[in-house]
Amino acid sequence: MQARATSKAAGIPGVKHVIAVASGKGGVGKSTTSCNLALGFAAMGLKAGILDADIYGPSQPRLFGLRGKPRQIGPRMLEPMERFGVKVMSIGFLVEEDNAMIWRGAMVISAITQMLREVAWGDLDVLVIDLPPGTGDAQLTMAQQVPLSGAVIVSTPQDLALIDARRGIAMFQKVNIPILGVIENMSSFCCPTCNHVTPIFGHGGARLEAERRGIPYLGEIPLDIKIRETSDEGRPVVATEPDGVHARQFVEIARAIW
């Protein structure tokens, strides 16, 4: 990883870098992006893992097509699940969704710390954390307590999402965590029948915002039914259609981060 992101992950044995993927609000594709980025890092030949800390809707089990509970391998240690060459741990494996949603900030932090420290991650070049959306207390404390090398912000080009993303950027800057860059998701829609491109949520807003703030712009992912379908079916594009255009876009973004 480039010098702009120094590793602070020394506290997690064997894990070289921890990268948070954040968004100002839900539904912008943060989990889909986190999943495909982790797979993108793996496609680059890196040892990658993903920690799903999105208590409001843990999506990584579905995205990776994983079910069941992680195996306990010691009095306090869990073995991460593994799929497509990526190690996966999700809050969704550990608690019922409805329970986690009503947790207070302190419980969220404690659960995430536990998933960082009491999971046998083994040797990893990079661990991607799919953060809960938003910029509240929980996210801020997490940004301070989790040993992050940097943060990636996912936003749609829509004004509202951008305003929320701006708050996310400010939050990480406040606690001196390097912003590795901004990704514009659902950037435009290409009609599969006539190939007409429609910028449903506008286009280029995230790039402009990144430029304005002197933050790297990492690239864009279009709104495409294939991404939605493969995500729902537990067959993320980078793993199952590595030669496809979207897989290449995600891998390119992973390279830009690294």
Contact residues for ligand ADP, defined by CB under 6 A: 23, 26-32, 59, 133, 185-186, 221, 223-224, 227-228, 231
Does the annotation list 105 as a binding residue? no
Residue 52 near residue 88 (C-beta atoms within 8 A)? yes
Tell me the closest approach of the beta carbon of residue 57 to ligand ADP, in angstroms. 6
Looking at the Cβ atoms of 106 and 225, the one nearer to ligand ADP is 225
Does the annotation list 69 as a binding residue? no
Looking at the Cβ atoms of 56 and 79, the one nearer to ligand ADP is 56
Tell me the closest approach of the beta carbon of residue 136 to ligand ADP, in angstroms. 15
Nearest residue to ligand ADP on Cβ basis: 29
Q: Which two tokens stand for residue 211?
A: 């430029």
Looking at the Cβ atoms of 59 and 158, the one nearer to ligand ADP is 59
Looking at the Cβ atoms of 59 and 139, the one nearer to ligand ADP is 59
Does the annotation list 25 as a binding residue? yes
Q: Which two tokens stand for residue 206?
A: 């995230």
Q: Which element (helix H / strand E) includes 90?
A: strand 86-90
Does the annotation list 47 as a binding residue? no
Does the annotation list 28 as a binding residue? yes
Does the annotation list 8 as a binding residue? no
Tell me the closest approach of the beta carbon of residue 71 to ligand ADP, in angstroms. 27
Angle formed at CA 44 by CA 230 and CA 87, multiple of 5 degrees: 60
Looking at the Cβ atoms of 47 and 60, the one nearer to ligand ADP is 60
Does the annotation list 85 as a binding residue? no
From the list 107, 178, 166, 116, the residue with the least C-alpha distance to 141 is: 107
Does the annotation list 174 as a binding residue? no
Query: Which ranges of the chain does DSSP label H, i.e. alpha helix?
Result: 30-43, 60-63, 91-94, 97-101, 105-117, 137-145, 159-174, 205-213, 225-232, 237-240, 245-257
Tell me the closest approach of the beta carbon of residue 32 to ligand ADP, in angstroms. 3
Q: Which residue has the tokens 């992950």?
A: 9
SS (H, E, C) 143-206: HHHCCCCEEEEEECCCHHHHHHHHHHHHHHHHCCCCEEEEEEEEEEEECCCCCCEECECECCHH
Residue 84 near residue 239 (C-beta atoms within 8 A)? yes
Looking at the Cβ atoms of 125 and 234, the one nearer to ligand ADP is 234
Tell me the closest approach of the beta carbon of residue 10 to ligand ADP, in angstroms. 29
CB count, 10 Å around CB of 87? 22
Tell me the closest approach of the beta carbon of residue 92 to ligand ADP, in angstroms. 12
Q: Is the dihedral of CA 145, 7, 62, 203 positive or negative?
A: positive
Angle formed at CA 134 by CA 169 and CA 4, multiple of 5 degrees: 30
Annotated binding site for ATP: 24-31
Annotated binding site: 24-31
